[in-house]
Amino acid sequence: MKRSTFLKAMIATATLAAMPVCAVAQDTIKIGEINHYKRMAAFAGPYKQGIELAIDEVNAAGGVLGKPLEFIFRDDQGEPGEAIKIAEELMTREGAVMLTGTILSNVGLAISSFAGEKGYVYLASEPLADSLVWGAGNKYTFRLRASTYMQAAMLAEAAANTDAKTFATIAPNYAYGKDAVAAFKENLLRLKPDVEFVAEQWPGVFKIDAGAEVQALERAKPDAIYNVTFGPDLAKLVRQGTDRGLFEGRQVFGLLSGEPEYIDPLGDEAPEGWIVTGYPWYDLQDGPGGDFVAAYQARWDDYPRVGSLVGYMTVQSIAAALTKAGSTESDAIQAAFEDLQVATPLGGITFRSIDNQSTAGAYVGTTALRDGKGVMVDWAYKDGADYLPSDEEVSKLRPAD
C-alpha cells in the first residue's frame, strides 16, 4: 500500500511538472515587462519606479480579480531579436498573461508583430512610431503614450502661429524620427500651406556628428528648426548649436526636448525659448497630476520624469483592462482594452477601438532656465483626442484585423 501510494504521488507530481505554466493556478497575475533597462537607464529607471508605485497601490487596494498584480521585468538590451525571445519565454514559461513595455520603436514594432502572430496582448507603453497602431497595427497591440503624430501635430499648431516661412528638420534615422518629420510636415502644411522645408538631417540614433549637422542646418538658413533628437544626441546638438550660434534669431520646435529625462542633464546649458513637448512636474500641485507627483516623491524621495508617469499609467491601464475583462485570457483582455476608459494623472483617457491608440495627451510649453536648470514655462496640457486624424483617415491607414 505504501509503495502504491508513493507511485501515485510520483505520477501526479510528474504530470503537474509537465503542464504549461499558464495551466497551473498562480497566486499572482503576472505581466511580462520588457525594456532597455541598461541601454536607456535615464528613462527606464524612473519608468520602473512608476510601475512599482502603482503596483503597491493596486495591491494595497486588494489587487486585481482577487489576486496581487506582479510584473516580471526583463532587459532586452534594446535588441528586437532579444525582445522577441524574452516575450516568448515570459508567455510560455513564466506564466505572464500579457506583455508590456519597450521604449525604442523598432523593438516595440518587433514585439507587436510577434504578439499579433501569437495572439498575445501587448500594451506598448512608450514606443511612439505611428505605424505601431496604423500601418503595422494589429488587434492585440495597444499604445498608451501620445503618438508621434499627435505630439508633432501639437508642435505644428504652435509653428503655424509664428512668422516662420522656411523650416529645417533634424531627426534620428529610424521609424520614430521619420514618422515625426512626416507628421510635422503634414500638419504644418495643412495649417500653413505657404511654408517651405529647406533642409533635412538624418543622424543615426545615438551616433550624431553634431558639428557637421549644425553646419548643414546653418547653411540652409531656415527661419525655424524642428528637432526630434533626444538623449545624448540632443545634448550634443544643443551644445554645438549654441557654440556656433545656430539657434540665435531662430525659433526651435523640439519633440520630447522638454522631458526631464533629456533636458535635466543639460543643466544651465539648457536652451531657452524652444517650444517643446515635455513634463512640467514642478508646477503640478493640484488634482490627479499633483497627487501623483506627491505620491512619487514620498515613495522614492525623488521627482518624477515622463518615464515615471508612463510606468504608473501602464499599471493603471492593465489593472483597468483586467478588471473589465474579468479574466486573464488573451481574447478577453483584448476585448476589454477596446474603448477602455482609465482615470490617470493626466485625467481620463480612452483606448480607441478604431486603432487601439489611447487619447493620452502631452504638455506643450516654452523652455527657460530656473535655478540653473531647464524647465517648461507658459505650458498647457493638450488633450490627445484633439490631435488625431479622423476615423475615415485612420481606416485608410490601418490594415483590417
In tens, the pLDDT along 230-270 reads: 989 999 999 999 999 999 999 999 999 999 999 999 999 99
Q: With CA atoms as reference, report the closest residue to 146 among 279, 260, 325.
A: 279
The CA distance from 142 to 132, in Å, is 8
Sequence ranges of the chain with CATH classification 3.40.50.2300: 21-147+285-361, 149-280+363-387
Please give the grid coordinates belonging to residue 176. Answer: 520614430
In tens, the pLDDT along 324-351 reads: 999 999 999 999 999 999 999 999 999 9
Is there a contact between 77 and 44 (Cβ–Cβ < 8 Å)?
Answer: no
In tens, the pLDDT along 30-86 reads: 999 999 999 888 889 999 999 999 999 999 999 999 999 999 999 999 999 999 999
CA distances from 158 to 2, 171, 362, 385 (A): 81, 19, 14, 17
Fold designation for 149-280+363-387: Rossmann fold (3.40.50)
Backbone angles phi, psi at 293, to 5 degrees: -60, -45
The CA distance from 314 to 145, in Å, is 9
The CATH homologous superfamily to which domain 21-147+285-361 belongs is Response regulator (3.40.50.2300)
